[in-house]
Structure 1
């Protein structure tokens, strides 16, 4: 009797152990995952974005798009003419030169329309998220104006996913970070060769205190003024490509990773202003039906009228070696993004047969 009870007890204990082990295996995979998903969803998404951005950093077998991201568009040829070009141009990166070429294509009936979002001012009381929603509404209004393709939408706006249209073509140009920042600094004070006095005073000078209007960039940096030290200003191009997510306005490793991901995932090409003719030649190679001959037009334009010179900021005073050293540190994330884009672009030129 004693042994029978002992065997039954042993069997019961064994059964309990087996059930407990099974539950542990099930819960080990599911319960923590559920809790983490609910509590830390945003952080998990950020880590996934970082991991994806690290993956698209790889350049293997002569390819420049993501090895494990099948939807990446960077460097992929595009045929046909029924396309919408989205040029969310970065300020002070030579965009007016490209717009002038767009106008030539439009006059030749090779572009149906070129719609601008410029002149649309986001009310400051909307905040960042509200302002970006208002800007996206403006972009949708611009899309409504397009009746025929190929067409283009242009303006100084952060990356927006134009989800109303199938496969829009994103293109852009960035610039050496310190050069762009210095140019922007003086442009806001003195304009350029195409700036009217009215526009200068009404639009550009309005955001600058009068006591700082004549301050040099060197003075701004050495006095540690916000205009030359605020991380949101010193990460401008990176945040521009990162997009409209609220976290994009906060410089971080995630912001940089997301900006890199957008370049690979959404843009057909991002060039550098220091190699403008190379950028136009790449446009020709990737999209011959749209941009055939655009590099030659640029050359003729440069010989006839130096558009680039007329859009350079006035009274620009170059930064001193001391200021360059300070700004190199402040612009660290910008330089990481710039070098990423430049490396991509140089590899793309090799792949499509554009000589440096």
Structure 2
């Protein structure tokens, strides 16, 4: 019962701290973001809002310089109130540029499962063939396509070697989930599995994000979205289970089951990325628990009022 004195849904809700009624979903790749976009589009038909998805011809926006950051923020500021903007972009500090803050949301996923998902995603023919044609690139070699993730890890190939503090990999290799919550400072945010990016990412989630959910806690995520951002997400649970839950977007039948032994080997180099993921889940659960405690307190108050009335009638 001590938790009742420390958990309050209103205290954990950053929606009220936003300066404009625009949701910015700076989606982390391979976290089920397409599924959430589909849900939001369906909710938009009910609640009369639009979901604008950044086309991003090159896929994921890299680290932005200050001019690019300012330009992106200006674009978000000019979005009509009551709508949602979606982009694969790192966290942007609107206050730094004296611009009104939007309502930030995002999704996270177990970081090892993310890199496995990405590994097979970019090797799927329906992904690399269209990209090859669009960007006039050569076809990948057969060995690259056919090497399984566990083989890649055990052979020590560079793409499957996750070295703490490394800067060498491309931003889009998806080992850095914290990067999407840390920002665009390469020196502070890029070192893989390092303490400074972890702390910055945690601080930004705590202070700036209304909700950071995960499909690994589907019902909790939907409940928190419904209650913390009701203008956009009222009825999200009912909408999701009306059929969207059976239509998983970007499912990859080519991805095999990876053994726990291989996953454990990889997890040893993902300690801080895992810590960040668990931090986000813990915050999500706190938000959910705060809602339940509020309900209990309201129910207790209602019961007390009912008992008072009953006593008065007996007199």
| Residue in structure 1 matched with residue 106 of structure 2 by the alignment | 172
Residues 123 and 337 of structure 1, relative CA distance in 2, 3 Å threshold: closer
Contact 2:14 2:209 in 1 (8 A): no
Q: C-alpha offsets along residues 31-82 of structure 1, whole Å, 9 cap, x if unaligned? A: xxxxxxxxxxxxxxxxxxxxxxxxxxxx9943389xxxxxx98534649996
Residues 280 and 201 of structure 1, relative CA distance in 2, 3 Å threshold: farther
Q: Which moved more, 1:154-163 or 1:91-100?
A: 154-163
Q: Which residue among 187, 195, 198 is the counterpart of 2:130?
A: 198
Residues 93 and 64 of structure 1, relative CA distance in 2, 3 Å threshold: farther
Structure 1: where are the runs of 5+ without partners?
Answer: 1-58, 66-71
Q: Distance in 2 between matches of 1:217 and 1:176?
A: 16
State which structure, 1 or 2, has the greater radius of gyration over its C-alpha atoms.
1
Q: Distance in 2 between matches of 1:165 and 1:275?
A: 33
Q: Distance in 2 between matches of 1:64 and 1:255?
A: 28
Contact 2:8 2:291 in 1 (8 A): no
Correspondence 1:99 to 2:37: yes
| Residue in structure 2 matched with residue 211 of structure 1 by the alignment | 143
| Residue in structure 2 matched with residue 344 of structure 1 by the alignment | 283
Q: Distance in 2 between matches of 1:228 and 1:196?
A: 19
Q: Distance in 1 between matches of 2:45 and 2:115?
A: 34
> What SS does the corresponding residue of 2:146 show, helix, strand or coil?
coil
Q: Which residue among 192, 198, 203 is the counterpart of 1:261?
A: 203
> What SS does the corresponding residue of 2:282 show, helix, strand or coil?
helix
Alignment of 1:18-167 (within 5 A): 61-63=5-7, 74-76=12-14, 78=16, 83-108=21-46, 110-111=48-49, 113-121=50-58, 131-133=64-66, 135-136=68-69, 139-140=72-73, 142-143=75-76, 146=79, 148-163=80-95, 165-167=99-101
TM-score (norm. length: structure 2): 0.76
Q: C-alpha offsets along residues 206-233 of structure 1, whole Å, 9 cap, x if unaligned? A: 7966531211110111111221224455
Residues 64 and 311 of structure 1, relative CA distance in 2, 3 Å threshold: farther
Q: Distance in 1 between matches of 2:67 and 2:184?
A: 11
Correspondence 1:239 to 2:179: yes
Contact 2:52 2:84 in 1 (8 A): yes
Q: Which moved more, 1:207-216 or 1:243-252?
A: 207-216
Q: C-alpha offsets along residues 224-244 of structure 1, whole Å, 9 cap, x if unaligned? A: 122122445575111221111
Residues 122 and 241 of structure 1, relative CA distance in 2, 3 Å threshold: same
Correspondence 1:326 to 2:265: yes
Residues 73 and 96 of structure 1, relative CA distance in 2, 3 Å threshold: farther
> What SS does the corresponding residue of 1:157 show, helix, strand or coil?
coil
Q: CA deviation at 1:136?
A: 2.5
Q: CA deviation at 1:122?
A: 8.9
Q: C-alpha offsets along residues 91-110 of structure 1, whole Å, 9 cap, x if unaligned? A: 11111111112222333352
Q: CA deviation at 1:201?
A: 6.1
Q: CA deviation at 1:324?
A: 1.7
Q: Distance in 2 between matches of 1:219 and 1:109?
A: 48
Structure 2: where are the runs of 5+ without partners?
Answer: 167-172, 296-315
| Residue in structure 1 matched with residue 215 of structure 2 by the alignment | 273
Q: CA deviation at 1:352?
A: 1.3
Q: Distance in 2 between matches of 1:174 and 1:291?
A: 18
Q: Distance in 2 between matches of 1:217 and 1:178?
A: 11
| Residue in structure 1 matched with residue 153 of structure 2 by the alignment | 221
Q: Distance in 2 between matches of 1:143 and 1:171?
A: 14
Residues 295 and 332 of structure 1, relative CA distance in 2, 3 Å threshold: same
